[in-house]
Amino acid sequence: MKNLPFRAMVQQRPPWRRDVRGTIRGGRGMLVMSAVLLPGARRKSVGLAYLLLAFCGLFGLHRIYLGRGLSGAGMAAISLLSIPLIWSGLGLLGFVATGTWALADALLIPSMAREAEPGLPALA
């Protein structure tokens, strides 16, 4: 956009902007308003949540995807702290806890996906 006259710079619009044109009262000029189009919130996929549960269930990635970031971070913290403690027995206890939690989430994923829809309040 260098070395262009001012009028040429103003007329170039990014593809995500739309102009809404209307006339000013009395017909003396043209009023141009720009609106930014933001992508709407997307519905959460239950299938993708199950894939995340199958491959990264102990680390809570499915919970983070479904908008429950705090509990997902808690699952990840328990699993990551359990890795170095695996030989002491405490690590096994951590993996049993997150494994049980992940199995319970297998039943809860459809309801969590429904709660993550836009317009509905999501409980964390």
Domain spans, the chain: 6-36, 46-115
pTM beyond cutoff 0.85? no
The H or E element that residue 32 is part of is strand 30-36
Task: Tell me the three state secondary structure of residue 75.
Answer: helix
Q: Exposed, middle or buried, 97 (CB in 10 Å: 0-12/13-18/19+)?
A: middle
**CA–CA separation, 51 vs 53, rounded Å?**
5
Residue-wise pLDDT for 64-98, tens only, equals 999 999 999 999 999 999 999 998 888 999 999 99
Both tokens of 123, joined, read 């409980």
Residue-wise pLDDT for 12-53, tens only, equals 555 544 444 544 455 555 545 454 444 556 788 999 999 999
